[in-house]
Chain A
Amino acid sequence: MGARPLTLFGDVARWFADPANWQGSHGIPTRILEHLELSGLAVAVAIVLAMPIALYLGHGRRGGFIAINVANIGRALPSLALLAFGLIVAIALGLGLGFWPTMFALVPLAIPPIVTNTFVAITEVDRDVVDAARGMGLAERQILARIEIPLGLPLILAGIRTAAVNVVATATLGALVAGGALGRFIVDGFALREYDQLVGGAILVALLAVATEVSFSALERRTAVPGMAAIR
């Protein structure tokens, strides 16, 4: 217990410097890869589930209130409860521990920002532009694909970014159900009272979340249509 901040700082530095912590199936690189795999798949599944609905509703400019509110239930459900429920389901289905129960907790967390941002991105596209496209004879599908999505892309990506950052930070929960990923350092560090490991794990998660944020922001800037970049 009573480790003073300075001692702890040194311990954490030593933990990062120890080559043993960078090797094998329990090492930092493996855990980061596991974390990225878990988070990446959770966000991908959320995109597949949420994006078509949000695009459809956004294009029709209706039903958004219901869609956003239903999706927001995902925010209200405690991830920990979903994790416990996911564990029971995964065991019953023979999917094993760790990965799938955690997915079950993470996907509902990723859906709300994707739905909200995508819907708003599409509805906020200037109506005159859409009407002009329609007047030029573009089909509805073409309007969505060539006008609305490209113009709304930065906002859509911002939604995915929010989802991804939430998921990266929450994927640590997986360690509670025997999963890998960076949560392992936090849970094991706590169980062993090895605060260097615990803090080291927390720092890695924070860094990964920041890295996710930064890379998505860069992607948003690159995908902005010329002329729109000025708005951002």
Chain B
Amino acid sequence: MKRGTIFAAFVALAVVATACGGAGTGGGGTAAKPDVIVGSTNFYEQVTLGELYSQILEANGYKVTRKFNLGSREIVEPALESGQIDLDAEYLATLLAFVDKDGKVAKPTTDPKETQTGLQKALDPKSLTVLDYAAATDQNGFVVTQATATSKNLKKISDLSPVAKDMILGGPPECPQRPFCQLGLKNVYGLTFKDFKALDAGGPLTVAALDGKQIDVGLLFTSDPSIVAKSFVLLDDDKHLQLADNIAPVVRSALLQKDDGTIKRLLNSISAKLSQSELNDMNKQVAVDKKDNKDVAAAWLKKQGLIK
């Protein structure tokens, strides 16, 4: 009977799943594996990173709940602190500036190691742990169209100083008050724009606004695939406004204490392999080739030999 076949298939699956779980930990199931809730902000790279973390944990027998696309950091960081999620992919400098707004504990620098140490200090009172950072970064980058770059002779951000007063800057609504966005452009580069247009965080609105000439300078992420796809020009950050925004998992310390160290080892193994070109390639597959985050993450983990 058909029902019998299905039942057999279930049994087989269960056996395989158990076997996988055992093989992954190596410990042989002595410590109970805590359930993990992986979160992400509302942006495709974050979803892909969330998938990487989720899938490597699942492949090693953890029960993972995905809470992706939660919103901006303003939503996700409090969710992490309050335990609505257990971990997410973060960016060292931006998170440090977010949790320690006045730089009382530590100030982010262009050096990732230093920034990570500072970040951990700032996260200690919140019982959060930042694990190893990847070589890959995702930093704010200021972008103009090829036509603008040619006509105004723009290669680096400081080239904007004679022309910024006639230009419209576009970025996420929080840009005017972010030190790495309009505020930083003013304080570090001395740039004052004609106007600011609130768009999205390096998403389709910003790309469309640049393309449709509704803005002159847009804030995109350095790993944005549309920079290549639309032949935009990424202006060189010659005065180092953008700090070390290397990607690192941030985890609730309570989760790590409940675990036998496997979670930490697994997440660090991803960071060790995540180079800038690997990240940009995954971003291109998702954003330009319209592949599913899940498939892209699975293919990458397999290619790196991190899951079978």
Residues from chain B with Cβ under 8 Å of A177 in the complex:
205
Determine which of B174, B204, B209 lies in contact with A191 in the assembled complex, contact meaning CB atoms within 8 Å: B174
Interface segment, one of B136-144, B193-201, B230-238: B193-201
Contact across chains for A178 and B78 when beta carbons are under 8 A apart: no
On chain A, the residues within 8 Å of B78 by CB distance are 1
Cα of A190 to Cα of B209 in the assembled complex, Å: 22
Residues from chain B with Cβ under 8 Å of A25 in the complex: 195
A80-103 interface code vs B (CB 8 A; 1 in, 0 out): 000000010001001011000000
Q: If the complex has contacts A97-B205, A177-B205, A193-B74, are A188 and B198 also in contact, measured as CB distance less than 8 A?
A: yes
In residues 29-68 of chain B, which contact A (Cβ within 8 Å)? none
Q: Which residues of B are found within 8 Å of A188, using beta-carbon distances?
A: 173-174, 198
Q: Is A192's CB under 8 angstroms from B199's CB?
A: no
Give bound CA distance, A124 to B198, whole Å.
49
Residue of B nearest to A91 (CB): B208
CA distance A178 to B205 in the complex (A): 7
Among A87, A91, A193, max chain B CB count under 10 A is at A91
Contacting residue for B198 out of A1, A94, A184, CB 8 A: A184
Name the residue on A nearest B197 (C-beta). Answer: A178
Q: Which residues of A contact B173 (CB under 8 A)?
A: 187-188, 190-192
Q: Does B118 sit at the interface, judged by CB under 8 A? A: no
Query: What band does the interface of chain A fall in when counting residues whose beta carbon is under 8 Å from B?
Result: 10 to 19
Tell me whether B214 is interfacial, beta carbon within 8 Å: yes
Known A25-B195, A97-B199: A178·B172 in contact at CB below 8 Å? no
- In chain B, residues 149-179, which have Cβ atoms closer than 8 Å to a Cβ of chain A? 170, 172-174, 177
Complex CA distance for A96 and B209, rounded to whole angstroms = 7
Roughly how many angstroms separate A162 CA and B170 CA in the complex, as a whole number? 36
Q: How far is the CA of A184 from the CA of B204 in the complex (A)?
A: 18
CB neighbours of A193 from chain B (8 A): 74
Asked whether B28 is an interface residue with its Cβ less than 8 Å from the other chain, the reply is no
Given A97-B214, A193-B74: A187 in contact with B198 (beta carbons within 8 A): yes
Q: How far is the CA of A175 from the CA of B212 in the complex (A)?
A: 18
Does A96 lie within 8 Å of B214, measured CB to CB? Answer: yes
Q: What are 5 residue pairs bridging A and B, where the CB atoms are less than 8 Å apart in the complex?
A: A25-B195, A97-B209, A97-B212, A97-B214, A175-B198
Taking beta carbons and an 8 Å cutoff, which residues of B are in contact with A? 72, 74, 78, 170, 172-174, 177, 195, 197-200, 204-205, 208-209, 212, 214
A91-B208, A178-B198 are known contacts; what are 10 more A-B pairs with Cβ within 8 Å?
Answer: A91-B204, A97-B208, A177-B205, A178-B197, A178-B199, A178-B200, A178-B205, A184-B198, A188-B174, A192-B173
Interface positions of A (Cβ within 8 A of B): 1, 25, 87, 91, 94, 96-97, 175, 177-178, 184, 187-188, 190-193
